[in-house]
Copies of this chain bind each other. A is one copy, B any other.
Amino acid sequence: MSTEISPLAPEQFPEMHPVAGVRLAAIEVGVRYEGRADVTLVDLAAGTTVAGVLTKSKAPGAPVDWCRKILPRGTARGLVVKAGNANVFTGDAGRIAVEETAAAAADLLGVEARDIYVASTGVIGEFLDHTIVTEQLPRAHNSLSETAWRDAADAILTTDTFAKGASRTARIGDATVTISGIAKGSGMIAPDMATMLSFVFTDAAIPAPVLQNLLVRNAEPTFNSITVDGDTSTSDTLLLFATGQGAEHPVPTSADDPVLAEFSAALHDVLHDLALQVVCDGEGAQKLIEIRVTGAESDAAARRMGLVVANSPLVKTAVAGEDANWGRVVMAVGRSGELADRDRMSVSFGGIAIARDGRPVEGYDEAPVTAHMKGRKVLIETSVGVGGGAWTVWTCDLTHGYISINADYRS
């Protein structure tokens, strides 16, 4: 973890609600880092269900392969996370290391290995002898606690500059349930310290297929609507565990069950909060950028346009330079391949229209725009004049800090 904290970091790590049926521990193993915890063990109560969204990379790490293999079972009893070595591009030895790690954790917790989830981030292509971790796991097992959220949030970090957590409560029927989650991923998706992990836990009782549906639909507008440099990691992993150990409530039969309305909104809030914290920890980030696209052919088209704008180095450097450069926004929208009506397009920064109907707005008030660009949060809105599709994405600016971090990474 870097010592210089992102200027976009929250003021403090949030208060985390404990989640009945979840116990956590973080220990220092020395996978790569010294003087900090780097291995996390989570114990999950019997009956826990699980949902997951995993990287679409065609060259995923061995832990991702493992999670993908066991996810269809829908049950979970534990989680092991290693920080510092991604176990990616490690061949058969990497696969075996994951299986042995799961087996060791399963032995400790008295459960089946196929109910143990494993995630790793860090260096690619370096093989780590799994015994370095498994021999230490009993120490983690001995220190499991319902309150070690901050310890776990710290222990999963790699190049992040701050720990990321979010916690909410929601009602399902008359019962109040809890959702608490942690995340890592230092924004700029860095395959050497491979990327985004997030683990979210609730004490609600939700069948696995319903949980999966809830997670997918809430991941779309949150984790799947952020980008830092457009690179996709070999290790991206988002897991949602439901222990069913909280107050009793009606068990939902589908994600559309009205009893889940408040829970789904709270889950969205947790995922949104964590996703934005990941963007705010983008390497070199000085500004958080929100891009709202409206008037597109469909929501999907608006999302694709928003991501092209968000990934444009020219848009990101313009924001870094505090320049309301709407021409670069037009360029990015134009190259997205999605339908836009050039002569009906509009662009605004900080709510002030700068271009409208395909032309610059004559004599718009520059002062509030300039003030907006100097702030930490920059809002870019564009309407593309075609239909009713809308989407919002988030990114950060592209600064000298990014080049410094990534051009000197391994040296």
Contact = CB atoms under 8 A, between A and B. Distances in A.
Contacts of A238: none
A331 B409 contact: no
A336 B58 contact: yes
B408 A321 contact: yes
A60 interface: yes
Interface in A277-335: 311-314, 317-318, 320-321, 323, 325-328, 330-335
Contacts of A56: 335, 337
Interface in A224-249: 229-234
A216 interface: no
Contacts of A69: none
A410 B325 contact: yes
A125 B231 contact: no
Interface string A188-204: 11111010000000000
A49 interface: no
A143 interface: no
A311 B321 CA distance: 22
A151 interface: no
Contacts of A231: 312-314, 331-332, 335
A269 interface: no
A343 B55 CA distance: 18
A337 B56 CA distance: 8
Contact of A123 (B60, B327, B340): B327
Binding site secondary structure of chain A: loop
Contacts of A91: 343, 357-359
Interface string A339-364: 11011010000000001011110000
Contacts of A109: none
A89 interface: yes
A56 B308 CA distance: 15
A57 interface: yes
B234 A314 contact: no
Nearest to A320: B407
A90 interface: yes
A128 to B, nearest CB: 13
Given A124-B330, A232-B335, A317-B403, 20 more contacts: A58-B335, A59-B345, A60-B342, A89-B327, A89-B342, A89-B355, A91-B343, A125-B326, A125-B355, A188-B313, A189-B314, A191-B314, A191-B331, A231-B332, A313-B402, A320-B403, A321-B406, A400-B400, A400-B403, A402-B403
20 contacts: A56-B335, A57-B331, A58-B338, A58-B340, A60-B334, A89-B360, A124-B330, A124-B331, A125-B360, A188-B314, A191-B328, A192-B327, A229-B314, A313-B402, A313-B406, A318-B406, A321-B411, A323-B407, A323-B411, A325-B409
